[in-house]
Structure 1
Amino acid sequence: MCAAFLVAACTAPVPPARGDGSATRTALPLAASDLQAQYLKVIKEVLPSVVQIQASHDLGSGVVYDGLGHIVTNAHVVGSEKTFKVTTANSREPLTASLVYSYPDQDLAVIRLDKVPAGLRAAVFGNSEDVAVGQIVLAMGSPLGLSSSVTQGIVSATGRTVSEGSADGGTGATIADMVQTSAAINPGNSGGALVNLDGHVIGIPTLAAADPGLGGSAVPGIGFAIPVSMVKTVAGQIVRSGKVVDSGRAALGIAARTVVDAGYRPAGVAVVSVKSGDTADRAGLRPGDVITRLGGTRVTTSTELSEALAVDRPGQRTTVTFQRNGAEKTVEVTLGEQ
């Protein structure tokens, strides 16, 4: 379908010039006209399923998950609050909603409308396996409080592992398999919908890239969305059980911090404490050990260790290389669950 949209050589017939000398208007290429029609169709179908969420101090977006009033959004949108005001496509006045459960480790949360309005429409959630680089996507949400806004772009990359900052309102989570998009992601878009031209939600827009060299300013055209597979996994568990019962996230079972060398450069991850009976404890790691490698990945900071663990799975076997009293050691571990 996308290939057909990109074919611009086929155009509608051009009408003859008018005798009054006025300029002749050239018809839109058929492919462009078809693409515009598809945009309008998708927006009409999906935008009513995207809501605005107002907390005490923050504003974000959400996506209607089902007809029971469950709405999936980002954990950093709900923060530590329990009640919210939600504006849907059909509500003239904000509705009230309550938190079901927040899961900051994946920056996802589910809230539920206290009263389900008539005509509430659940979104259609797609499959991560169908997401490919180059696909046209639309980001829907409430950037800067401008409700029901739509931006357009493509899938720029898949499989990105991204660590959120916590100082700028994020949860500090490290999230694997994120969808990178050129569609504009601005404050307020968080928790909204990244949608393909089939009208399927393929991700939850969560953050934009920031350039430290520009004072942390957002970089245009580089945004990230949590993949729909993880959205369905986490939201599904919350709706069914009221919490996340199977995180699917690998862990070592340690508390850790970054250490630096004599030149104040990050040099590894120091084990601060070890959870009794967990992965690191069974492998013989002790407080004071400095981890420098997980499997084939070198780690110099706690963020790098989190990113390396994010692409692994509980039960997976790997190796941990660490320094103890000046000597390097390597042990095999079976990763636990976070």
Structure 2
Amino acid sequence: MAVSVARVARALTWLLLFLALDGGTAWTAQGASSIAEGIYAAAPPRLLQIRTLVANAGQQASIGSGFLVSADGLAITNYHVVSQAVLEPKTYRLEYTAADGSRGELSVVGVDLPNDLAIVRLAKRDAPFFTFDGAAMEGSPSKGERLYSMGNPLDLGFTIIEGTYNGLVDRTYNDRVHFSGALNPGMSGGPTVSAEGQVVGVNVATRRGGQLLSFLVPARYAAALLQRVREQKTPPDLRAEVGRQLAAWQSALYRSFAEKGFRSTALGPYLAPETVAPWFNCWANTNAGATPRPRASINSINCKADTGLYVAPDLNTGAIQIDHSYVKATELNQFQLATLLTQMSQPRLVGGGPFRKWYTPQRCHEDFVGAAASDRPPLRVIWCAQAYREFEGLYDVALIAVTQDQGSEALVSRLSLQAVGYDDAVALGKRFLQSVQSSK
């Protein structure tokens, strides 16, 4: 098997470090810090802080990071860092400050919505720039490899953070690298590099509630976007491009979701549909230990897809969720149980309030569906939808089904889809309802 020059150089780096350290210690904080010092010493001319300014006020609305990737002034950042300027160019403008003190205006020349990337151009020529790591471009850095992330956290100044490469995240639809390092707000869009200073990923997010759980966009997506920008003959209509990419992404998502299909899981006397798509996480809960003692037993399963897509500061979309609750009355009569089931089956869509600029008002329809076969219980079905104002043909949909075959127990099932085409929503809804069955 051929071994890349980068890998040989990396191995020699660690070998020389090993031989140079006192007492044969293979790795020390001093060794790690010397590598970080070398990387950071060369970085300032290539690093950027990117600020979104309210055009008429000249004051910053948000900050992020970026890094140069060409001698002619092209730089990479996150789409979410520049999204306001992309969607509302008359209201917002972009400005950069480099770590070497230079500053100026920026323009966005390309976006990759699914991978949260953007290419910006600045009036800077013949400046040093970052290159991409060969192993990362092939998708095969070694797990446990030390990486170094750079950016401007919380507007405190440019910083370098040491961490570990842990491979791609499991159970996610869009590829993300798990980086064990302390990314903080303001570092979004900065580079994470190997010991040789080559880009392995782009800082994108951190998981709140965890310790050193951070995420990178793999370098190959940034390189691909850079290539597309270089090949485009005319600047794109960026707002229209966001809509086009959102439509293409959701079409592929729901096609994949449909292809995976549903499997059955038992809840009381019912079989409830679950997906086999690998990018869902499912959790169960019960009210058995609640105080005071509940008057109805409720055992639930909640499955959420890691498919979220950032479109704007007030619009994250693309989520899919499947919920089931088996309810059995212990101290409720039939009327009281029916009241509880009505409360549990209320539609939940994200529209309304501050989201009205993105959505039309939701509309709901309720009906009863008789048993089509002996293994399917009769259902009370509620269908709610709201359309996206800016993105024609896309909807958020909620489908709720409540079994009607028993007076003391029922299954409440819910399918929630964001940014879905109408035909896809109808087809998936039919399959979901058909999969709600009796097990006895």
TM-score, normalized by the shorter chain, greater than 0.5: yes
> Counterparts of 1:88 and 1:256 in 2: how far apart (Å)?
36
Alignment TM-score, normalising by the size of structure 2: 0.49
Per the alignment, residue 327 of structure 1 pairs with 434
Aligned residues: 262
> Counterparts of 1:60 and 1:238 in 2: how far apart (Å)?
21
Deviations 1:50-98 (A, max 9, x none): 21101120000011121121111111111221431111233x3421111
- Aligned match for 2:47, one of 25, 43, 50: 50
Alignment of 1:150-161 (within 5 A): 150-160=160-170
- Aligned match for 1:123, one of 107, 121, 130: 130
Greater per-residue helix proportion: 2
Alignment of 1:1-40 (within 5 A): 1=10, 5=14, 31-32=27-28, 34-40=31-37
Structure 2 residue ranges without an equivalent (≥5): 1-9, 54-60, 259-317, 325-340, 350-382, 388-396, 401-413, 421-426
Per the alignment, residue 155 of structure 2 pairs with 145
- Aligned match for 1:224, one of 211, 215, 223: 215
> Counterparts of 2:113 and 2:245 in 1: how far apart (Å)?
14
**Cα pair 1:260 1:266 within 8 Å, conserved:** no
Per the alignment, residue 60 of structure 1 pairs with 64
Alignment of 1:1-338 (within 5 A): 1=10, 5=14, 31-32=27-28, 34-56=31-53, 57-81=61-85, 82=89, 83-90=93-100, 92-113=101-122, 115-117=123-125, 119-126=126-133, 127-160=137-170, 162=172, 176-211=174-209, 219-241=210-232, 242-243=235-236, 249=249, 250-252=252-254, 262=341, 264=344, 301-302=416-417, 323=430, 326-328=433-435
Opposite residue 208 of structure 2, the aligned amino acid is A
3-state SS of 2:130 partner: coil
> Counterparts of 1:54 and 1:12 in 2: how far apart (Å)?
43
Further displaced range: 28-37 or 145-154:
28-37
Which is higher, the Rg of structure 1 or of structure 2? Answer: 2
Q: Judging changes above 3 Å, is the alpha-carbon distance between structure 1 residues 2 and 180 closer, same or farther for their aligned structure 2 residues?
A: farther
1:41 positional shift: 2.5
Deviations 1:184-205 (A, max 9, x none): 1100000001111121111111
Alignment TM-score, normalising by the size of structure 1: 0.62
Q: Judging changes above 3 Å, is the alpha-carbon distance between structure 1 residues 207 and 66 closer, same or farther for their aligned structure 2 residues?
A: same
3-state SS of 1:221 partner: coil
Percent identity of equivalent pairs: 19
3-state SS of 2:142 partner: coil
> Counterparts of 2:431 and 2:24 in 1: how far apart (Å)?
69
**RMSD (Å), alpha carbons:** 4.3
Q: Judging changes above 3 Å, is the alpha-carbon distance between structure 1 residues 7 and 100 closer, same or farther for their aligned structure 2 residues?
A: closer
> Counterparts of 1:266 and 1:177 in 2: how far apart (Å)?
34
> Counterparts of 1:251 and 1:70 in 2: how far apart (Å)?
31
**Cα pair 1:193 1:204 within 8 Å, conserved:** yes
